[in-house]
Amino acid sequence: MSSIRIARWIVVTVITAAILLLMLAMWLLREQIFQTFQDPGEPYQTYTPPEAPEYADASAWYLQGQFDDDTTPAVFFVHPTTYSGGAEWNAKLDKDTANDRVEEVIIPNYAAPFAVSGSLFVPRYRQASLYSFMNNREDSVLARHFAYHDVEAAFRQFLQDVGDDRPIILVGVGQGGLHALRLGMDVVAPDEALTARLAVAYILEAPVPLDLFEGPLADLPACDTPEDVRCIYAFSYAEEDETRRLRILTERSMSWTEQRDLDFVEERRLLCTNPLLAAPSNQYASARMHRGGASATGFSLDATPAPLPMQTGAQCTDGILLIERPPSPLLRRPSRIAEDFLIAPFNLFYEDLRLDAARRSLIVSTILQEERRWAPPFEDPESVEDAPVIPIPDRRRF
Protein backbone atom coordinates (compact mmCIF):
# COMPACT_ATOMS: atom_id res chain seq x y z
CA MET A 1 0.00 0.00 0.00
CA SER A 2 1.43 3.35 -1.01
CA SER A 3 2.08 6.05 1.55
CA ILE A 4 -0.64 8.20 -0.05
CA ARG A 5 -3.24 5.47 0.41
CA ILE A 6 -2.14 4.94 3.99
CA ALA A 7 -2.45 8.65 4.69
CA ARG A 8 -5.91 8.73 3.16
CA TRP A 9 -6.96 5.70 5.20
CA ILE A 10 -5.69 7.34 8.40
CA VAL A 11 -7.53 10.59 7.62
CA VAL A 12 -10.77 8.74 6.86
CA THR A 13 -10.42 6.65 10.01
CA VAL A 14 -9.76 9.69 12.18
CA ILE A 15 -12.69 11.61 10.69
CA THR A 16 -15.02 8.62 11.08
CA ALA A 17 -13.94 8.10 14.68
CA ALA A 18 -14.41 11.80 15.41
CA ILE A 19 -17.92 11.73 13.94
CA LEU A 20 -18.81 8.63 15.95
CA LEU A 21 -17.45 10.19 19.14
CA LEU A 22 -19.39 13.39 18.43
CA MET A 23 -22.59 11.43 17.84
CA LEU A 24 -22.01 9.46 21.05
CA ALA A 25 -21.41 12.66 23.01
CA MET A 26 -24.56 14.23 21.56
CA TRP A 27 -26.55 11.14 22.53
CA LEU A 28 -25.19 11.11 26.07
CA LEU A 29 -25.69 14.86 26.45
CA ARG A 30 -28.94 15.06 24.49
CA GLU A 31 -30.97 16.34 27.44
CA GLN A 32 -28.45 19.05 28.27
CA ILE A 33 -28.40 20.10 24.62
CA PHE A 34 -32.20 20.14 24.60
CA GLN A 35 -32.25 22.34 27.69
CA THR A 36 -29.79 24.75 26.10
CA PHE A 37 -32.14 25.31 23.18
CA GLN A 38 -35.17 25.73 25.49
CA ASP A 39 -33.57 28.39 27.70
CA PRO A 40 -35.24 31.77 26.96
CA GLY A 41 -31.91 33.43 27.66
CA GLU A 42 -33.47 36.31 29.59
CA PRO A 43 -33.76 36.84 33.36
CA TYR A 44 -37.34 36.54 34.57
CA GLN A 45 -37.05 39.91 36.30
CA THR A 46 -36.80 41.65 32.89
CA TYR A 47 -39.09 39.24 31.05
CA THR A 48 -42.37 40.49 29.57
CA PRO A 49 -45.00 37.72 29.90
CA PRO A 50 -47.49 36.97 27.11
CA GLU A 51 -50.88 38.66 27.09
CA ALA A 52 -53.15 37.61 29.95
CA PRO A 53 -56.33 35.54 29.44
CA GLU A 54 -59.76 36.98 30.13
CA TYR A 55 -61.68 34.15 31.76
CA ALA A 56 -65.05 35.78 31.24
CA ASP A 57 -64.53 35.00 27.53
CA ALA A 58 -65.09 31.54 26.08
CA SER A 59 -61.81 31.84 24.14
CA ALA A 60 -59.89 31.47 27.42
CA TRP A 61 -61.17 27.90 27.85
CA TYR A 62 -60.53 24.62 26.05
CA LEU A 63 -63.82 23.36 27.49
CA GLN A 64 -66.53 25.27 29.32
CA GLY A 65 -69.19 22.88 30.54
CA GLN A 66 -72.95 23.00 30.21
CA PHE A 67 -75.45 21.64 32.74
CA ASP A 68 -78.71 19.73 32.46
CA ASP A 69 -79.80 20.48 36.03
CA ASP A 70 -78.70 22.08 39.28
CA THR A 71 -77.26 18.88 40.74
CA THR A 72 -74.77 17.98 37.99
CA PRO A 73 -71.22 18.29 39.40
CA ALA A 74 -68.71 20.65 37.79
CA VAL A 75 -65.15 19.43 37.10
CA PHE A 76 -62.28 21.94 37.07
CA PHE A 77 -59.32 20.35 35.26
CA VAL A 78 -55.81 21.88 35.11
CA HIS A 79 -53.67 20.41 32.35
CA PRO A 80 -49.97 19.47 32.64
CA THR A 81 -47.00 21.03 30.84
CA THR A 82 -47.26 20.90 27.05
CA TYR A 83 -44.95 23.80 26.12
CA SER A 84 -41.23 22.98 25.96
CA GLY A 85 -39.84 26.52 26.04
CA GLY A 86 -37.37 28.42 23.92
CA ALA A 87 -38.82 31.85 23.28
CA GLU A 88 -40.84 32.20 26.49
CA TRP A 89 -40.73 31.32 30.16
CA ASN A 90 -44.52 31.06 30.10
CA ALA A 91 -46.43 29.88 27.06
CA LYS A 92 -48.52 32.16 24.90
CA LEU A 93 -52.20 31.22 24.90
CA ASP A 94 -52.17 30.79 21.11
CA LYS A 95 -49.13 28.48 20.97
CA ASP A 96 -50.43 25.89 18.51
CA THR A 97 -48.15 22.97 19.39
CA ALA A 98 -48.89 23.32 23.11
CA ASN A 99 -52.64 23.67 22.53
CA ASP A 100 -52.77 20.74 20.12
CA ARG A 101 -51.19 18.48 22.71
CA VAL A 102 -53.74 19.53 25.34
CA GLU A 103 -56.64 18.85 22.97
CA GLU A 104 -55.37 15.66 21.32
CA VAL A 105 -53.48 13.94 24.15
CA ILE A 106 -54.21 15.40 27.58
CA ILE A 107 -57.98 15.93 27.52
CA PRO A 108 -58.82 12.49 26.00
CA ASN A 109 -56.49 10.64 28.37
CA TYR A 110 -56.66 12.62 31.60
CA ALA A 111 -59.75 14.84 31.64
CA ALA A 112 -62.16 12.43 29.95
CA PRO A 113 -62.29 9.92 32.86
CA PHE A 114 -63.97 12.64 34.93
CA ALA A 115 -66.47 13.67 32.25
CA VAL A 116 -68.92 10.96 33.34
CA SER A 117 -69.00 12.45 36.84
CA GLY A 118 -69.59 16.05 35.87
CA SER A 119 -69.32 18.78 33.29
CA LEU A 120 -65.73 19.63 32.32
CA PHE A 121 -64.13 23.07 32.58
CA VAL A 122 -60.57 23.24 31.22
CA PRO A 123 -58.90 26.67 31.23
CA ARG A 124 -56.08 27.88 29.04
CA TYR A 125 -53.30 29.42 31.10
CA ARG A 126 -49.82 30.78 30.63
CA GLN A 127 -48.18 27.56 31.73
CA ALA A 128 -44.57 27.47 32.86
CA SER A 129 -42.39 25.85 30.22
CA LEU A 130 -41.01 22.32 30.44
CA TYR A 131 -37.57 23.92 30.67
CA SER A 132 -38.59 25.60 33.93
CA PHE A 133 -39.29 22.17 35.46
CA MET A 134 -36.02 20.63 34.25
CA ASN A 135 -34.05 22.91 36.55
CA ASN A 136 -34.76 24.79 39.75
CA ARG A 137 -33.25 28.17 38.93
CA GLU A 138 -34.89 31.22 40.47
CA ASP A 139 -36.23 32.17 37.01
CA SER A 140 -37.86 28.75 36.66
CA VAL A 141 -39.49 28.98 40.08
CA LEU A 142 -40.86 32.44 39.27
CA ALA A 143 -42.38 31.07 36.05
CA ARG A 144 -44.29 28.46 38.07
CA HIS A 145 -45.57 31.05 40.53
CA PHE A 146 -46.71 33.21 37.62
CA ALA A 147 -48.65 30.34 36.02
CA TYR A 148 -50.49 29.65 39.29
CA HIS A 149 -52.08 33.10 39.33
CA ASP A 150 -53.70 32.43 35.94
CA VAL A 151 -55.12 29.16 37.27
CA GLU A 152 -56.46 30.87 40.39
CA ALA A 153 -58.16 33.55 38.27
CA ALA A 154 -59.72 30.83 36.10
CA PHE A 155 -60.92 28.92 39.18
CA ARG A 156 -62.59 31.98 40.66
CA GLN A 157 -64.39 32.59 37.36
CA PHE A 158 -65.38 28.91 37.33
CA LEU A 159 -66.87 29.21 40.83
CA GLN A 160 -68.82 32.27 39.76
CA ASP A 161 -70.14 30.51 36.66
CA VAL A 162 -71.24 27.26 38.33
CA GLY A 163 -73.02 28.90 41.27
CA ASP A 164 -72.98 28.33 45.02
CA ASP A 165 -74.72 24.98 45.36
CA ARG A 166 -73.29 22.63 42.74
CA PRO A 167 -70.86 19.81 43.74
CA ILE A 168 -67.37 20.24 42.32
CA ILE A 169 -64.39 18.03 41.49
CA LEU A 170 -60.89 19.49 41.26
CA VAL A 171 -58.30 17.74 39.06
CA GLY A 172 -54.70 18.69 38.30
CA VAL A 173 -52.07 16.65 36.45
CA GLY A 174 -48.31 17.34 36.45
CA GLN A 175 -47.82 21.11 36.51
CA GLY A 176 -51.60 21.31 36.78
CA GLY A 177 -51.40 19.22 39.94
CA LEU A 178 -48.99 21.71 41.48
CA HIS A 179 -51.43 24.54 40.78
CA ALA A 180 -54.50 22.56 41.89
CA LEU A 181 -52.78 21.78 45.18
CA ARG A 182 -52.35 25.48 45.89
CA LEU A 183 -55.98 26.11 44.95
CA GLY A 184 -56.83 23.66 47.70
CA MET A 185 -54.61 25.61 50.11
CA ASP A 186 -55.63 29.16 49.14
CA VAL A 187 -59.23 28.92 47.94
CA VAL A 188 -60.94 25.67 48.93
CA ALA A 189 -59.73 24.82 52.44
CA PRO A 190 -60.34 28.30 53.93
CA ASP A 191 -63.94 28.33 52.62
CA GLU A 192 -66.18 26.03 54.67
CA ALA A 193 -69.07 26.24 52.20
CA LEU A 194 -66.81 25.46 49.24
CA THR A 195 -65.14 22.56 51.04
CA ALA A 196 -68.59 21.12 51.73
CA ARG A 197 -69.30 21.03 47.98
CA LEU A 198 -66.00 19.37 47.05
CA ALA A 199 -66.35 15.72 46.12
CA VAL A 200 -62.59 15.21 45.85
CA ALA A 201 -59.40 16.92 44.66
CA TYR A 202 -57.21 14.72 42.45
CA ILE A 203 -53.54 15.80 42.48
CA LEU A 204 -51.90 13.50 39.94
CA GLU A 205 -48.20 13.27 39.06
CA ALA A 206 -47.35 16.12 41.44
CA PRO A 207 -46.00 15.65 44.99
CA VAL A 208 -48.26 16.47 47.95
CA PRO A 209 -46.22 16.84 51.16
CA LEU A 210 -47.97 15.51 54.25
CA ASP A 211 -46.82 18.46 56.35
CA LEU A 212 -49.36 20.65 54.50
CA PHE A 213 -52.18 18.73 56.20
CA GLU A 214 -50.98 20.13 59.53
CA GLY A 215 -51.23 23.68 58.18
CA PRO A 216 -53.14 25.12 55.19
CA LEU A 217 -54.83 21.79 54.38
CA ALA A 218 -55.95 21.03 57.92
CA ASP A 219 -59.60 21.36 56.81
CA LEU A 220 -59.08 19.42 53.58
CA PRO A 221 -57.64 16.03 54.62
CA ALA A 222 -56.32 13.14 52.58
CA CYS A 223 -58.90 10.58 51.39
CA ASP A 224 -58.48 7.65 53.79
CA THR A 225 -61.10 5.28 52.35
CA PRO A 226 -62.81 4.74 48.97
CA GLU A 227 -65.97 6.39 50.39
CA ASP A 228 -64.36 9.56 51.74
CA VAL A 229 -65.30 12.89 50.19
CA ARG A 230 -64.19 16.51 50.72
CA CYS A 231 -60.62 15.23 50.62
CA ILE A 232 -57.41 14.97 48.55
CA TYR A 233 -56.38 11.96 46.44
CA ALA A 234 -52.82 12.01 45.09
CA PHE A 235 -50.09 9.87 43.58
CA SER A 236 -46.98 10.01 41.41
CA TYR A 237 -45.87 6.71 39.92
CA ALA A 238 -42.77 5.03 38.52
CA GLU A 239 -41.45 1.57 37.80
CA GLU A 240 -39.00 0.27 40.37
CA ASP A 241 -36.06 0.28 37.93
CA GLU A 242 -36.71 3.86 36.72
CA THR A 243 -34.04 5.19 39.03
CA ARG A 244 -33.71 8.59 37.37
CA ARG A 245 -37.45 9.25 37.44
CA LEU A 246 -37.59 8.15 41.08
CA ARG A 247 -34.77 10.55 41.92
CA ILE A 248 -36.63 13.38 40.19
CA LEU A 249 -39.86 12.60 42.05
CA THR A 250 -38.28 12.31 45.49
CA GLU A 251 -35.34 14.74 45.35
CA ARG A 252 -35.50 17.27 42.53
CA SER A 253 -39.25 17.99 42.54
CA MET A 254 -40.59 21.02 44.40
CA SER A 255 -43.91 21.66 46.10
CA TRP A 256 -45.58 24.37 48.13
CA THR A 257 -44.73 25.21 51.70
CA GLU A 258 -47.09 26.66 54.29
CA GLN A 259 -45.68 30.10 53.35
CA ARG A 260 -46.59 29.50 49.65
CA ASP A 261 -42.95 29.23 48.64
CA LEU A 262 -41.70 26.38 46.47
CA ASP A 263 -39.23 24.06 48.16
CA PHE A 264 -37.72 20.65 47.47
CA VAL A 265 -39.73 17.62 48.55
CA GLU A 266 -36.63 15.75 49.71
CA GLU A 267 -37.06 14.77 53.36
CA ARG A 268 -40.76 15.70 53.24
CA ARG A 269 -43.14 12.74 53.52
CA LEU A 270 -45.53 12.54 50.55
CA LEU A 271 -49.15 11.49 50.17
CA CYS A 272 -49.60 8.36 48.05
CA THR A 273 -53.10 7.12 47.21
CA ASN A 274 -52.98 3.68 45.61
CA PRO A 275 -55.55 3.90 42.75
CA LEU A 276 -56.10 0.13 42.87
CA LEU A 277 -57.19 0.42 46.51
CA ALA A 278 -58.57 3.98 46.35
CA ALA A 279 -56.81 4.64 49.64
CA PRO A 280 -53.37 5.69 50.95
CA SER A 281 -52.04 2.29 51.94
CA ASN A 282 -48.65 0.55 51.87
CA GLN A 283 -50.45 -2.69 51.02
CA TYR A 284 -49.51 -4.29 47.69
CA ALA A 285 -52.36 -4.46 45.17
CA SER A 286 -51.98 -7.08 42.46
CA ALA A 287 -52.68 -6.58 38.76
CA ARG A 288 -55.97 -8.45 39.21
CA MET A 289 -57.27 -5.30 40.93
CA HIS A 290 -56.29 -3.00 38.07
CA ARG A 291 -59.53 -1.90 36.39
CA GLY A 292 -57.90 -0.60 33.26
CA GLY A 293 -55.57 1.80 31.52
CA ALA A 294 -56.29 3.46 28.19
CA SER A 295 -54.45 5.06 25.31
CA ALA A 296 -57.10 7.55 24.15
CA THR A 297 -54.98 10.00 22.17
CA GLY A 298 -57.08 11.57 19.42
CA PHE A 299 -60.40 10.41 20.93
CA SER A 300 -63.27 12.84 21.35
CA LEU A 301 -65.08 13.16 24.68
CA ASP A 302 -68.03 11.30 23.15
CA ALA A 303 -65.87 8.26 22.38
CA THR A 304 -65.01 5.90 25.23
CA PRO A 305 -61.72 3.99 24.82
CA ALA A 306 -61.69 0.29 25.60
CA PRO A 307 -59.80 -0.02 28.90
CA LEU A 308 -56.98 -2.56 29.21
CA PRO A 309 -57.39 -4.22 32.64
CA MET A 310 -54.95 -6.18 34.81
CA GLN A 311 -51.92 -4.37 33.38
CA THR A 312 -50.07 -3.54 36.60
CA GLY A 313 -49.85 -4.13 40.30
CA ALA A 314 -49.04 -1.18 42.53
CA GLN A 315 -47.73 -0.37 46.00
CA CYS A 316 -47.05 2.91 47.79
CA THR A 317 -43.45 3.04 49.01
CA ASP A 318 -41.95 6.15 50.62
CA GLY A 319 -44.65 8.33 49.10
CA ILE A 320 -44.24 7.05 45.52
CA LEU A 321 -46.55 4.59 43.75
CA LEU A 322 -44.32 1.79 42.47
CA ILE A 323 -45.87 -0.07 39.56
CA GLU A 324 -45.11 -3.20 37.56
CA ARG A 325 -44.22 -2.92 33.89
CA PRO A 326 -47.46 -3.18 31.86
CA PRO A 327 -47.48 -6.04 29.33
CA SER A 328 -49.19 -3.85 26.73
CA PRO A 329 -46.81 -1.57 24.76
CA LEU A 330 -49.67 0.96 24.58
CA LEU A 331 -49.22 1.63 28.30
CA ARG A 332 -45.43 1.98 28.40
CA ARG A 333 -43.60 5.29 28.39
CA PRO A 334 -42.06 6.15 25.02
CA SER A 335 -38.36 6.99 24.63
CA ARG A 336 -38.39 10.78 24.35
CA ILE A 337 -36.06 13.53 25.43
CA ALA A 338 -37.07 14.72 28.91
CA GLU A 339 -39.51 11.82 29.25
CA ASP A 340 -39.00 11.70 33.03
CA PHE A 341 -40.41 15.23 33.26
CA LEU A 342 -43.37 14.62 30.92
CA ILE A 343 -46.83 13.17 31.40
CA ALA A 344 -47.23 9.89 29.53
CA PRO A 345 -49.40 9.96 26.36
CA PHE A 346 -51.82 7.43 27.91
CA ASN A 347 -53.56 7.03 31.27
CA LEU A 348 -52.46 3.89 33.09
CA PHE A 349 -55.28 4.30 35.64
CA TYR A 350 -58.02 5.62 33.34
CA GLU A 351 -60.76 3.26 34.50
CA ASP A 352 -59.69 3.29 38.16
CA LEU A 353 -59.98 7.08 38.23
CA ARG A 354 -63.24 7.11 36.27
CA LEU A 355 -64.96 4.75 38.71
CA ASP A 356 -63.48 6.48 41.75
CA ALA A 357 -64.71 9.91 40.65
CA ALA A 358 -68.17 8.54 39.87
CA ARG A 359 -68.45 6.98 43.33
CA ARG A 360 -67.23 9.99 45.30
CA SER A 361 -69.28 12.50 43.31
CA LEU A 362 -72.44 10.43 43.92
CA ILE A 363 -71.67 10.28 47.64
CA VAL A 364 -71.16 14.02 48.03
CA SER A 365 -74.24 14.79 45.91
CA THR A 366 -76.32 12.54 48.17
CA ILE A 367 -74.88 14.19 51.30
CA LEU A 368 -75.62 17.68 49.98
CA GLN A 369 -79.19 16.79 49.07
CA GLU A 370 -79.75 15.35 52.55
CA GLU A 371 -78.18 18.35 54.28
CA ARG A 372 -80.40 20.75 52.37
CA ARG A 373 -83.46 18.97 53.77
CA TRP A 374 -82.47 19.82 57.30
CA ALA A 375 -84.04 22.76 59.09
CA PRO A 376 -81.83 25.84 59.00
CA PRO A 377 -79.79 26.38 62.17
CA PHE A 378 -81.09 28.74 64.83
CA GLU A 379 -79.65 32.21 64.68
CA ASP A 380 -77.59 33.49 67.58
CA PRO A 381 -79.86 34.47 70.51
CA GLU A 382 -80.41 38.15 71.13
CA SER A 383 -80.16 39.55 74.63
CA VAL A 384 -83.14 41.62 75.79
CA GLU A 385 -82.88 44.14 78.62
CA ASP A 386 -85.48 44.13 81.38
CA ALA A 387 -88.46 46.30 80.42
CA PRO A 388 -89.95 48.66 83.05
CA VAL A 389 -93.36 47.62 84.39
CA ILE A 390 -95.99 50.34 84.14
CA PRO A 391 -99.10 49.55 86.20
CA ILE A 392 -102.52 49.88 84.60
CA PRO A 393 -104.63 52.56 86.33
CA ASP A 394 -107.53 51.35 88.47
CA ARG A 395 -110.56 52.44 86.43
CA ARG A 396 -113.03 51.61 89.24
CA ARG A 397 -112.30 54.92 90.91
CA PHE A 398 -113.80 56.83 87.92
Residue 353 phi/psi, 5° resolution? Answer: -70, -40
- Contact by Cβ (8 Å): 217, 189: yes
Confidence of residue 398 (pLDDT cuts 50, 70, 90): very low
- Cβ-proximal residues to 68 (8 Å cutoff; 6+ apart), any chain: none
Question: pLDDT tens-digit profile of 163-207?
Answer: 999 999 999 999 999 999 999 999 999 999 999 999 999 999 999
| pLDDT over 90 at 378, yes or no | no
Residue 373 phi/psi, 5° resolution? Answer: -85, -15
Question: pLDDT tens-digit profile of 5-22?
Answer: 776 766 666 666 655 555
- Contact by Cβ (8 Å): 285, 315: yes
Please report, for the chain, how many H helices and E strands are present, in that order. 8, 11
Residue 127 or 396, more confident: 127
Q: What pLDDT, on the 0 to 100 scale, is given for residue 394? A: 55
CB burial class (10 A; 0-12, 13-18, 19+) of residue 67?
middle
E-assigned strand segments in the chain: 61-64, 74-78, 119-123, 168-173, 198-204, 232-235, 237-239, 254-256, 262-264, 314-317, 320-323
User: How many C-beta neighbours within 10 Å does residue 16 have?
Assistant: 10
Question: pLDDT tens-digit profile of 54-83?
Answer: 999 999 999 999 888 878 999 999 999 999
Rounded mean pLDDT, 355-367: 97
Residue 87 or 180, more confident: 180
Confidence of residue 86 (pLDDT cuts 50, 70, 90): confident
Rounded mean pLDDT, 34-45: 81
| pLDDT over 80 at 132, yes or no | yes
